[in-house]
Every structure is written in C-alpha cells, then in structure tokens.
Amino acid sequence: MTTIVWFRHDLRLADNPALLAACRRGGAVIPLFILDAVEPLGGAARWWLHQSLESLGRDCARLGAPLILRRGAPTDVLDQVIAETKADAVYWNRCYEPLRIARDSAIKTNLVSRHIDVQSFNGALLAEPWTVTTMTGNHYKVFTPYWRTLLGHAPFAAPVPAPASLPPAPSPLPSDMLAAWALEPASPDWAQGLRATWVAGEGAAALRLADFLDTDVADYPTARDRMDKDATSRLAPHLHWGEISPRQIWQAASMKADADPAAAQGVAAFQRQLGWRDFSAYLLFHWPHMATRAWKEEYENFPWQNNETHFRRWTKGETGYPVIDAAMRCLWETGTMHNRARMLVASFLIKHLLIDWRRGAEWFEDTLVDADVANNRAGWQWVAGSGADASPYFRIFNPVLQGEKFDPAGTFTRRWVPELAGLDDRFLHKPWCAPARALSEAGIRLGETYPMPLTDHDAARARALGALASMKKNQSTDELEDV
C-alpha cells in the first residue's frame, strides 16, 4: 500500500488529519507538494511559501520520507506520481475557496473512477461551513449568531499528534529543487524586511503561539487595537499556510485560561477572532461571488473614480496622512499590517479616494504574507459596506482621529514615516495644521520632504457620502458618523 499525502494549506506534521490517516493506513507515505502553475501567488506569499516548504521538507526528512516537490497542474502531477509509485490512495486536507473546491472535486471524481482511495479531512477550520446552520437550516449572514452556534460545536476535536515516522517509498522519487522554483526574489532582493520580521514553519508557529499566550493574551482585549503595540498574536501567516491549526490554537488558549483565570477574558477575545476567520471561510463557501463581486449586489453600482495617481500614492505610502502612510510602508517592508491599520487604509482607499475595493484587495494579496482570499475579501467588503455584517458605508474613518486614538504617542507613525519623527505629538497626525515654526524645527517642508494631503478629509467625506447617495437615492443623512 502506498498513500500520497497532497500538502496544500496544511504545511505541518502535527494535527494534520490527512497525514495521520495515511500513516494509520499502513504502507509507504509520499508527502507531495504541487506548485500549481495557474494559481496566482503574490510576491510576499511566494517568499513565505519558500521558507515554509524548506521547513516542512526538513521535518518530513527527519521522520523518514522526503517531501516531493513538483510543479504543474495538480491533476497531471498526481497522475505522474501515482504511475511512478503505484500509489493506491491519495489523501488531503480540504480547502474551501470556490476554485479549489471545483479543482479538488474534479480530481476526486477522476481518481475514484480509477479505484484509487481518495479521502479528505478538515485540517483548517474549527467547524466546516456546511455544519453551521440556523435552526431552519439556513446560512448565517451575521457574525454574532453564527458565533453562538459555532461555540455550540465546542469542544472542537482535540488536535492529533504528529506521526512518529513516515515510511518512505521503496525507491527514491524525483523531486524539483525548491530553489529552482524561484519563489524568493533575487534581483532586486526586496525581501530583507520579510526576513527580518518573520520565521516561517511549524516550529516557529508553535513558538509564536506559546510566546503570545505567555506574554500578551491577558491584555489582548484592551491592547489589540493599538497600532503602536505588539499586542496581537501575529499568527495569521502561519494559519494561512496551515503551519498551525485553529484547533491547536484553540486548545492551547483554553488550557491557558484554565491555568490562569486572569487571562480568561483575553483568551475569549482571541478565540473570537478565530471565529471571524471561520466566518470568512463560511461566507466565501456559501456566497462564492464574494471573492470578485460585492456581497450586497447593489454595491456593484457604486460610482468609483479609480484615479491611478491616487492609487499609486496610496500603495507607496505617500497620501499625506501620516498614519495611512506609516501603515502602507510597514506593509511593503514587513508583509504585514495591524488589523486596525488594515481597516484605516482600506477605508481611505475606498471612501477618501473612491477607488474600487478590489484594487486594494489585489494590492494586499501581492504584499501580505498572510494574504488569504476569504479573510482579505471579507475584510475589504466589511470596510466597503458591501459585505455581510459589514461596517456601514457612511461610517468613514477619520485618519487623524484614528491615529491620535490608536497611536497616541506616535511611535508607530514615527517608525515608518521618519521624515516626521521630530514633529510635536500634537501635530504628528495632521502636519498641515502645524505652525510654520514647528515644521521648520522638525526639518519638515510640506510638499517637499513630506506630501500635502491627497485630499481634505471633510471634502472627501462629503464626496463619498454623495457617491453613496447617488447609489442609494434614499440614504438618510441622519446616520452620518465621524469616528
């Protein structure tokens, strides 16, 4: 007996149900990763994948079977490896994005028709999308009732351990060299910031979780919105690539709460975020159009302006709003951005600049190490007001007030916008309001060393609300908020 374990977004050995089932089946186990030529991967994601495969390759080899790397259409590659190894089974952990579901279903039908044992497992979610329904069997559109029902599924299945060994194929199989895939940038090598920020792989993910639970989780409810603090888990890329499973995180966090009651509230708030992650996958599964079109159809008629110069300045962190620029430059350098900052820059692009949320989502998908179709598209549509359970469009973040509230001493902004570092706290988030003397003492010449704002907040807000009103003729202006 020979079982191929097709690794995808589950680049780990522990709590990997497909891998464990293959080992329990007996016979040889062939760990296989396929670089799908047609699946788009952003630059930062490619960099992460290289590191993660290197780590998984080491771990597989340690247990006895090398990780086989192949490039091509998964259906062709699986056929080749089945022919080379006479494998009689193919196991994998399920993916939930529409294109991957279609691909996997077609592959399964084909293999089963050839009497290959195909089995798939849940290695990525707390609860799979079809298991969470309303009393009447419908799908939730709002998070809170979804979350209550999801909690009803707890305790979630306990994580399963890594196998003790991986029995290899009797004779060695050809494998691509990871370096030949050129996932890492070469010239120019723009990945120094990623290397300085991250360590990918299953071992690093476990250490990250342990560190977060030891030091930060207790303060998570109060500190998680602060852009100047390192108060969140930073597990998103590890979760996206499946270097750690949500069940492992859930269980470790629950054990922390049991051992340390002072951390219980923080653990609950943190676990709720895992609920949002499951909810995003749930929404995409039940409403696949969410990846490309507004979840609320009427938003497809929104009058976008899509000014290219404005878009470019947003990507480069040259909007003239310090907190927005800090967040965009941080993204470029480190491949990540704080959740609050993601909301602010998304709101700025959509509402201040009237640029289609899809442009922003694509930029995030190219630059984030945790770029994830479900979380990203749900996040953008949440901000745009077009998503399920979304923030209303008329709630327009004020980048000055938000900067003052969530980066009060300006530590985050000064780090990423050093040309403003010398400016007094009172003006840091609105340098155009600073007296000439404060600017010159800080060495700032607005419009030269740091840009003037791309747009005036009040005017942009009025224009955004006008655009919304033109889409929804009877929008009530009583509901306007400046937050």
Ligand X SMILES: Cc1cc2nc3c(=O)[nH]c(=O)nc-3n(C[C@H](O)[C@H](O)[C@H](O)COP(=O)(O)OP(=O)(O)OC[C@H]3O[C@@H](n4cnc5c(N)ncnc54)[C@H](O)[C@@H]3O)c2cc1C
Tokens encoding 319: 């909007």
| Out of 339, 408, 424, 469, the residue judged to bind ligand X by CB under 6 A | 339
**Minimum CB distance to ligand X smaller for 285 or for 364:** 364
Residue choice 346, 388, 390, 460 for contact with ligand X (CB under 6 A): 346
Binding flag, residue 7, ligand X (CB under 6 A) = no
Name the closest residue to ligand X (Cβ).
Answer: 379
Query: How are strands ordered across the β-sheet holding 117-121?
Result: 68-71, 28-35, 2-7, 89-93, 117-121
Quote the least distance from Cβ 407 to ligand X, whole Å: 15
The nearer residue to ligand X, 14 or 87, going by C-beta atoms, is 14
By DSSP bridging, strand 68-71 and strand 395-396 are: unpaired
**Count of residues that bind ligand X according to CB under 6 A:** 27
The rounded radius of gyration (Å) of the Cα atoms in the chain is 24
Q: For residues 223 and 469, which CB has a smaller minimum distance to ligand X in the complex?
A: 223
Considering the rule CB under 6 A, would residue 371 count as an interface residue with ligand X? yes
3-state SS assignment for residue 6: strand
Q: Is 10 in the site for ligand X (CB under 6 A)?
A: no
| Residues of this chain, 248-287, that bind ligand X according to CB under 6 A | 273-274, 276-277, 280
Binding-site member from 33, 198, 380, 393 for ligand X (CB under 6 A): 380
Give the count of beta carbons closer than 10 Å to the beta carbon of residue 346.
24
Q: Looking up tokens 């293959």, which residue turns up?
A: 22
Q: Give burial (CB, 10 Å; 0-12/13-18/19+) of 65.
A: buried
Q: How many CA atoms lie within 13 A of 120 on its CB side?
A: 17
Q: How far is the CB of 422 from ligand X (least distance, A)?
A: 30
* 325: contact with ligand X by CB under 6 A: no
Nearer to ligand X among residue 2 and residue 245 (C-beta): 245
The least CB distance from residue 231 to ligand X, in Å, is 8
Q: Indicate the burial class of 110 (C-beta count within 10 angstroms; 0-12, 13-18, 19 or more).
A: middle
179 Cβ partners below 8 Å, 6+ apart?
A: none
- Is 3 within 8 Å of 89 (Cβ atoms)? yes
Nearer to ligand X, 20 or 368 (CB): 368
Shortest Å distance, C-beta 345 to ligand X = 8
Residues in 187-246 at the binding interface with ligand X, rule: CB under 6 A: 224, 232-236, 239-240
CB nearer to ligand X: give 327 or 444.
327
Closest to ligand X by CB, 342 vs 461, is 342
User: Which residue from 95, 114, 112 is spatially nearest to 104, judged by alpha carbons?
Assistant: 95
Residues 352, 354, 360, 363, Cα dihedral to 10°: -90
In degrees, rounded to 5, the angle at the alpha carbon of residue 181 between the alpha carbons of residues 180 and 184 is: 105
- The answer to whether 159 touches 122, Cβ cutoff 8 Å, is no
The residue among 32 and 294 lying less far from ligand X, judged by its C-beta, is 294
Q: Which is nearer to ligand X, 307 or 391 (CB)?
A: 391
Shortest spacing between CB 29 and ligand X, in angstroms = 29
Q: Is 372 in the site for ligand X (CB under 6 A)?
A: yes
CB of 125 to ligand X, least distance (A): 11
Residues of the shown chain interacting with ligand X in the complex, contacts defined by CB under 6 A: 224, 232-236, 239-240, 273-274, 276-277, 280, 339, 342-343, 346, 364, 368, 370-372, 375-376, 379-380, 383
